[in-house]
Structure 1
Amino acid sequence: MRLIVTLVLLLFIAAGVALGALNADLVGYDLGFARFQLPKGAALLAAMALGWLLGGLTAWLGTSARHRRQRRHAARATDSKLPADA
């Protein structure tokens, strides 16, 4: 399994290097408050990394909220099963 993960990782690294090499020309970006030029490959890589991070953060926050809600419901269920004079 570890070998497969390593091979897939190397494949994606090679694809990223090829993508960056084939898209080396500069493109201007104007954000309204800043202007800069980046190679197309670097801009694409930055956009993919930002999307990956935001997607991971969203998934993590979603599962964390669900787990907290499940723990709260489980705690309420066990509290309701306890006798009142205990």
Structure 2
Amino acid sequence: MRLIVMLLLLLFIAGGVVLGALNADLVGYDLAFARVQVPKGAALLAALALGWILGGLTAWLGVTTRHRRDKRRSDKAAGAKASKTP
């Protein structure tokens, strides 16, 4: 299993290197407070990484809040059941 993961990782790294090499032209970005010029490949990889991180964070927060809500409900149910028992 580790070998497959390592091979996939190397494949994606190689793809990133190729993407960066083929898109070496500079692209200018005007962010209200600064102007930045970066290669197209770097901009694409940064956007991909940012999207991946934000997507993972969103999924994690969704699962975490659901687990908290379910735990709160089960604690209330257990408390109500315990108070009814003599």
**Counterpart residue number, 2:12:** 12
CA distance in 1 between counterparts of 2:17 and 2:53 reads 20
2:53 alignment partner AA: L
Unaligned runs of 5+ in 1: none
3-state SS in 2 of match to 1:24: coil
3-state SS in 1 of match to 2:83: coil
- How far the C-alpha of 1:84 sits from its partner, in A, is 4.6
Alignment of 1:7-46 (within 5 A): 7-46=7-46
**Counterpart residue number, 1:49:** 49
Q: Deviations over 1:13-34 (max 9, x none)?
A: 0000000000011111112332
Runs of 4+ in 1 over 6 A off after TM superposition: none
- How far the C-alpha of 1:64 sits from its partner, in A, is 0.5
Report how many residues are paired: 86
- What percent of counterpart residues are identical? 70
The CA RMSD over aligned residues, in Å, is: 1.4
TM, length-normalised to structure 1: 0.91
**Counterpart residue number, 1:61:** 61
